[in-house]
Amino acid sequence: MEQGRARIESLSAITLTVSELARSVRFYEALGFERKSGGASDGFASFALGGENDAKPSFLNLMAGPPAAPGGPAGGWGRVIFHVSDVDAFYRQALGAGFAPSFAPADAPWGERYFHLLDPDGHELSFARPLAED
């Protein structure tokens, strides 16, 4: 790194615009996300990511906004990738909450086990964990 050059230290938050905040809050809470502030009546909600021992937690923020085009993903911008403690257990949790992931957990050639799930507004969420090193 160049001396005196600032660097990015971590990801602080991702904010997604959602068409129905109450529905989205229920979706993320059903997946086990812990809401830290806000709610449907506030026009935003914030969920902490990471364990209790994390010195600098990251946040997923939801903000009420205009709906996406009918049948299309919200903005078509990409995906959010969350590292989880156990991909297969998280997949079962999603199924148990009545959600339909895009595919079952799979081992990827880049060294992660993962699956994808669309949120109610079409944002693609990836739940992943690095594969154990041999």
Average pLDDT, the chain: 84
pLDDT band at 134 (very low <50, low <70, confident <90, very high): very low
How many domains, in total, are found in the chain? Answer: 1
- The average pLDDT across 62-84 equals 71
Q: What are phi and psi of 114, to 5 degrees?
A: -160, 165
In a domain, 3, yes or no: no
In a domain, 22, yes or no: yes
What is the pTM for the complete model shown?
0.71
Give the pLDDT confidence score for residue 28 in this predicted structure: 96
Span 116-125, pLDDT tens digits: 999 998 888 9
Q: For residue 92, give the CATH number of its domain.
A: 3.10.180.10
Residue-number span of the structural domain to which 112 is assigned: 13-68+78-130
* DSSP structure string for 70-110: TTS-STT--EEEEE-S-HHHHHHHHHHTT---SS--EE-TT
In a domain, 6, yes or no: no
